[in-house]
Amino acid sequence: MEVGKTKTYVYSDAELDRAEGEAIEALKTHSQQPIPDPDRWLDEELKRNILLTSLDVAINWARRSSLWPVVCFPACCAFEFITTAASRFDISRFGMEIIRASPRQADLMITAGTLTWKMAPQVRRIYDQMAEPKWVIAMGACGISGGIFASSYSVVPGYNRIIPVDVYVPGCPPRPEALLYGIQMLHHKISKRSIVIER
C-alpha cells in the first residue's frame, strides 16, 4: 500500500503467499532452457587432441625420449661426449642432458674411453646396478675393441667382453656427430621393443 510519497508494503499471510508464488512463477518462466555450459570449449579441445596408439609405441617413445646416461668416462673419448652434451651439439633435445652419478637413476652407459682390466669390475658393477631396461653404446675404437691398446695385457679388448653392447660408434675418437648418430640408432632399436617380449 502506498501512503503519500513513502512506499509501505503491508502483507497479510495471503499476500505473502501470492508474492512468493509470483516470484516462483517468474523464475520458472525464465528457466525453461538449460544454461549453456561455460566449459563446452573443453570438449572441442579434447576432440582435436586425442591420439590413439599402441601401448608399445607410447612406452618406447617415453623410454627413448628420456635416456639418462651414467657417468663412465675412463679416457679421452670423454671429451667428445662432453662436447656432444654441450650447447653446440646439445643432447638435451633428446631428453638426455641429465647425466647421472648414480647408476640407479640411469639407463644408458656410453663407454667413453679405454677400459683397463683393473677398472673392469667397477664398470661391471655400475652396469649391474643400473635400472632395467638399460642400454650400452660402445663409443670409440677402445670401447669397441681396445683400439690402439688392444694387444696390451692391461686393456679390455672391447666392453662387450664384460657387458652387452647395443650400438657401436667407431672412431678414435668419434666426433659428436657420430655419437649423435649412434644415439639415434639406439632410439631406433628401442622403438622396436615390445612389452610382451619383455615379459
Q: The C-alpha cell of 162 is what?
A: 664384460
Q: Please, which of residues 34-73 interact with ligand SF4 by CB under 6 A?
A: none
Q: What CA–CA distance (Å, rounded) separates 107 from 13?
A: 80
Interaction of residue 110 with ligand SF4, rule CB under 6 A: no
Instruction: Name residue, grid cell 694387444.
Output: 151
Q: What is the largest CA-CA distance in the chain?
A: 119
Give the span between the Cα atoms of 101 and 72, in whole angstroms.
9
Contact string 15-34 vs ligand SF4 (x = CB under 6 A): --------------------
Binding mask 128-157 for ligand SF4 (x = CB under 6 A): ------------xxx----xx---------
Q: Which is nearer to ligand SF4, 144 or 190 (CB)?
A: 144
Supply 199's cell numbers.
615379459
State the nearest-atom distance from the C-beta of 139 to ligand SF4, in Å: 7
| Residue list 162-181, contact with ligand SF4 (CB under 6 A) | 172-173
Q: What residue type is 129 in one-letter code?
A: Q
158 binds ligand SF4 (CB under 6 A): no
Query: Could you give the C-alpha distances from 109 to 16, 20, 36, 41, 129, in angstroms and in order?
Result: 83, 78, 56, 46, 11
- Per CB under 6 A, residues contacting ligand SF4 are 75-77, 113-114, 140-142, 147-148, 172-173
